[in-house]
Structure 1
């Protein structure tokens, strides 16, 4: 939904935000899904699928059989497995959703790929670029669909942003700003503070601003970061400056130490876009003119269940015989993983076993 406050210069047509072109998730072809690791993000994912799509979750797998059964009972899923191996070998499963901590993504996604299953892997895609390269190579060799579950890319308000950029409504873009910080209580047992689970702010929270800047600016020409480690040695906060080949800058921040505005903006020679609230979820978009006056705004009709859009995109691609999505290409996922590697090197953070 767009609520317009059109700006009209003398003799000119109003400048308004374009409506999103995002297809209805409910109209996507139905696939049978298997869910790996029934935790909080898997809960949100299945809730979104059951409420807003025609997708079917037919199996769930966990190393803990009781946990798998409890999840299956909660969502009326036919089959619960006490291992990931059993799930990926289930011939009814078309696509596997990997919802485990980052440390498990590579092994579990590779297992699903080798079993001939299509795969949707939670962000951040893997621990590092080396693992990402291996997954992409394996998926292409096996001929299966693979995508990073960067749900932001598939939301309606982001399609509005893409159209604004494509139409040049902001003029020449010079600055992108985005942040994602959450105030986490120090707890060595929590996955975000656990080095062995590839914890830290960057892979869980910071990937959102980095991915957003990559979408807007394209490949980065340079990446510079400073940061602070948490008490367990993972990255607790990072401030990142990137430059684009055009000379534009991205100023990005992530932290586990404080709740930040979680907003984003794109500023150009003709105006700017402001994404209000949690920019990475269904959000408002405002178009601001050079005179700093509001021109138009986009307000999403749906504020919950945003994870359904990535599932619908995967279903459309797979049904069309495509092995990756244009909205989140594997080459870009790999570039982003290289950026995250660079930031961690700057911060002096490495995970066990790397």
Structure 2
């Protein structure tokens, strides 16, 4: 099914609307300015002054500021909407944009639970509109090159994956990272990255088992996940809101070891070191830095992928397919149930 409501592929830019004006929206807009073929056409906020300030900082003299999300999605000069609200608000905000005929890139996770994510994707398919979860890691040049090279067998067969992401969160209880009604907790905000990384490297998990430390509000502050994958490969994954993790990942293969970091979800490089009976052979190491430049912090590569898909008439990205989004969402539903984390509406 082809996409709708887009300019013909030409010199005309893809016109972006940004829904919400929080921290990640600012990071996104800074990278959007670096991506050829796209421009910030409009921004929407529930606070008109926030929309005006955002447009002045990141837009041009034609960027429109809307004092409501409804105004943003109704803007005829917007082709695709980037949804940057907290997790729990994504379904309603995405639905608003889709029902207005706009293509959507939605921050991760796209919902608090798999059934809500599935409903969003079903609506996008019904409307013939593009929809993608903003999993920038899957679009990152270093990660893409790593996955491609692993598929060739050049580095051997992956047998173990380790990945952890965490930092200390010092915030009031009503902060989106800590509030149950907003989908707070380490798993959905941080754990989605190691789960996705392991999925990209090893494929869909056959079994995931978790243990967690919970806050008095019932959200998970720390979570450790053990996974089993096809062929007996395993993973040790972690996320934390109470401590400073390494934010690194490693892949052990039958031929050596790959270190990914320092921020594995948007790394500068991945380094493979062959091993043999006498130990590691650092003189033969291979450094992957991506086959294309990293645009800005890496959100730019995600933006470029969306624009490529829209210009080619796709309604789904092969880098972040709907099936992958739903698989990871389903995994997080099961892991939350294992550790006893429940959100309103479960």
Which residue does the alignment assign to 1:24? none
Quote how far apart the aligned CAs of 1:221 are.
Answer: 0.6
Asked if residue 330 in structure 1 is aligned to residue 322 in structure 2, the reply is yes
Aligned length: 328
Distance in 1 (CA, whole Å) between partners of 2:102 and 2:21 is 18
Would the alpha carbon gap of residues 292 and 28 (structure 1) be closer, same or farther in structure 2, given more than 3 Å must change? farther
Quote how far apart the aligned CAs of 1:353 are.
Answer: 2.5
Secondary structure of the corresponding residue to residue 272 of structure 1: strand
Asked if residue 53 in structure 1 is aligned to residue 36 in structure 2, the reply is yes
Would the alpha carbon gap of residues 316 and 29 (structure 1) be closer, same or farther in structure 2, given more than 3 Å must change? farther
Quote how far apart the aligned CAs of 1:186 are.
Answer: 4.7
Secondary structure of the corresponding residue to residue 220 of structure 1: coil
Which residue does the alignment assign to 1:254? 239
> Is this contact kept in 2: 1:283–1:303, CA < 8 A?
no
Which residue does the alignment assign to 2:26? 43
Which residue does the alignment assign to 1:293? 281
Asked if residue 85 in structure 1 is aligned to residue 73 in structure 2, the reply is no
Would the alpha carbon gap of residues 37 and 186 (structure 1) be closer, same or farther in structure 2, given more than 3 Å must change? closer
Asked if residue 245 in structure 1 is aligned to residue 230 in structure 2, the reply is yes
Which residue does the alignment assign to 1:104? 89
Which residue does the alignment assign to 2:340? 348
Which residue does the alignment assign to 2:255? 270
> Is this contact kept in 2: 1:28–1:315, CA < 8 A?
no
> Is this contact kept in 2: 1:118–1:144, CA < 8 A?
yes
> Is this contact kept in 2: 1:265–1:275, CA < 8 A?
yes
Distance in 2 (CA, whole Å) between partners of 1:286 and 1:130 is 38
> Is this contact kept in 2: 1:28–1:313, CA < 8 A?
no
Which residue does the alignment assign to 1:5? none
Quote how far apart the aligned CAs of 1:62 are.
Answer: 1.0
Would the alpha carbon gap of residues 30 and 200 (structure 1) be closer, same or farther in structure 2, given more than 3 Å must change? same
Structure 2, unmatched stretches of 5+, are 1-9
Distance in 1 (CA, whole Å) between partners of 2:281 and 2:13 is 44
> Is this contact kept in 1: 2:188–2:332, CA < 8 A?
yes
> Is this contact kept in 2: 1:53–1:308, CA < 8 A?
no
Distance in 2 (CA, whole Å) between partners of 1:53 and 1:229 is 44
Distance in 2 (CA, whole Å) between partners of 1:185 and 1:240 is 24
Secondary structure of the corresponding residue to residue 153 of structure 2: coil
Q: TM-score, normalised by structure 2?
A: 0.91
Distance in 2 (CA, whole Å) between partners of 1:259 and 1:207 is 17
Please, what is the CA RMSD of the aligned residues?
1.7
